[in-house]
Amino acid sequence: MTIFSTMRRAGIPVLACLLALPALADEPGGLVTGSFGDQPLELTVAPELSGATIIGNYADASLLASQMEGDQGPVNLELTINGELPAPGEMALTITFARDMGRNWTGDQDSLTLTLEEFTPGDGIVALKGTLTGQVSGGPSSETRPVTFSFDTRLEELD
């Protein structure tokens, strides 16, 4: 009898954690994965430095994602999107490598293509999911490199 009683009590915290998972999924954050040239990157979205506003059909979103580990050292990616939904016409992407100050790369709507799968507000959180492909330019030699990034994020809805 005590074995079943102990198992039942041990199962309560596990059940509580499993029930909390949907609530955690609604918290701000997310991932940006893809490649910069032939270098794979996986960056974590900083919820406190990211947010979105939707007014009618107009959307304005900004996210900052970073990768602290790896050969390149800290890497930051900043993406801003704004314009009319479902296809906002303006965007800017900046990729910064912290170990090499001359390795900043940028792109905008002229060199990048944005495909949005989701840009949906709900309960103070904006779900933002999509893919960004194209080219960025910069670096120490003013080069151009291909990029492909997919993002699946939840941003705090700002007033």
- Residue 63: which pLDDT band, with cuts at 50, 70 and 90? very high
With a cut of 80, say whether residue 41 has pLDDT above it. Answer: yes
Q: Name 19's Cβ contacts closer than 8 Å, sequence gap at least 6.
A: none
* Residue 22 predicted with pLDDT over 70: no
Whether the pLDDT of residue 10 is over 80: the answer is no
Q: Given pLDDT bands bounded at 50, 70 and 90, which one contains residue 72?
A: low
What's the pLDDT band for 44 if we cut at 50, 70, 90? Answer: very high
Neighbours of 102 (CB within 10 A): 10
Tokens in use for 27? 């918290």
pLDDT tens profile 92-144: 999 998 776 667 999 999 999 999 999 989 899 999 999 999 999 998 788 99
Instruction: Give 25's pLDDT tier (boundaries 50, 70, 90).
Output: low
pLDDT score for 98 = 79
What pLDDT shows up at residue 146? 97
Residue 33, pLDDT above cutoff 70: yes
> How crowded is residue 44: how many other Cβ atoms within 10 Å of its Cβ?
14
- Collect all residues with Cβ–Cβ distance below 8 Å to 97 and sequence separation of at least 6: 72, 73, 74, 75, 103, 104
CA torsion sign, 38 to 43 to 49 to 50?
Answer: positive
